Homo-oligomer: A and B are copies of this chain.
Amino acid sequence: MATRTRQSQRRRQVLTRERIVETAVELLDTVGKDALTVRALTGRLATGSGAIYWHIGNMDELLEAATDAVVADALATRPTRPAGAGSPQDEIRAVALGLFDAVTEHPWLAAQLAAQLTRNPWGPVTLRIFENIGRPVRTLGVPQGVWFTTTSTLVHYILGATAQTSQSTGVPSSEAERAEFLGTASRAWQDLDPDDYPFMRAIADQMREHDDREQFLTGIDLILTGITTLHPPEPARRSGEGGL
C-alpha cells in the first residue's frame, strides 16, 4: 500500500491474531504438523512467545482457527458459488468435494478436522460444514423434521471419508507411488488369515483399483439416494419460502 518494500512492511506489521493464524497455516502446509510450535511462530514473526499468547489463548485454539480458516476458504472459493446453478445434489457434491480437495492439498487438515469434531463438536469448524451441507439439504425438499438427521449423516460421512483418504492421496506424489501404496496394501490383505479376515481378502482386488475421489462421491450418492428414498421431496411447497 505504501512504498516500503514488503519485507520491511512485514516486519513492521503489528502482530495480529489473523497474522498468527496465517503463519500457522503456512508452517503446517510447508513443514508439517510437528513444525507448528510456538517457537517456530516466534521465529517467523520475530516476536516473543508472550506475544503469541497475548493474541491467542493456547495451541488448541490456534489449531482450531487455522483449521477454520482453511475450511472457510475451501468452501468459499468453490467456482459454482452463485445459487440457482445446479441441483441441490450438485451443490452437496460440490461442498463435499471442496472439503475433499482441501484435505488433499493440506495433508494436516484431515487429522485436524477429526480432532475438532471430537474436541469441540459444535465449534466453528463443524458449524460451518453443517451449514454448508444443510442449506442444499433444505432445498432438496425433505421434510423439516429430518433436516438435522439427514445433514448429520452427510457431514459425518464426509468427515470420516476425508479422514481416511488423507494419507493415501496425501502428497500428490507420482501415480506410480500411489499404485505402489495400493498394491502393497492389497497384497497385505491377501496375506491376512482367511479365518479372521475373509472379507478384506475378498475385496483386495477392488481396493487396488479403486479411485479415492470417485469412491468418495459414490458414498455421497448412496446417502443422497437413501435420503430421497426415505423422505421423498415434498410437492415443492412454495419454492421461494426460504430462498437462498
Q: A residues near B, CB below 8 A?
A: 110-111, 114-115, 117-122, 126-127, 130-131, 134-135, 137-138, 144-145, 147-153, 155-161, 163-168, 185, 188, 192, 196-200, 202-203, 206-207, 210, 215, 218-219, 221-227, 229-230, 242
Q: A111 contacts B121, CB within 8 Å? A: no
Interface of A is mostly: helix
Give the distance in Å from the alpha carbon of A185 to the alpha carbon of B123 in the complex.
10
Chain B contacts for A198, CB-based, 8 A: 131, 135, 242
Chain B nearest CB, measured from A53 CB (Å) = 20
Some 26 contacts from A to B, beta carbons below 8 A apart, are A110-B118, A114-B117, A117-B163, A118-B167, A127-B197, A138-B202, A144-B202, A147-B202, A147-B203, A148-B207, A148-B210, A148-B215, A149-B210, A152-B161, A153-B223, A156-B157, A156-B161, A156-B219, A157-B160, A158-B160, A159-B160, A160-B160, A160-B161, A222-B226, A223-B223, A229-B229
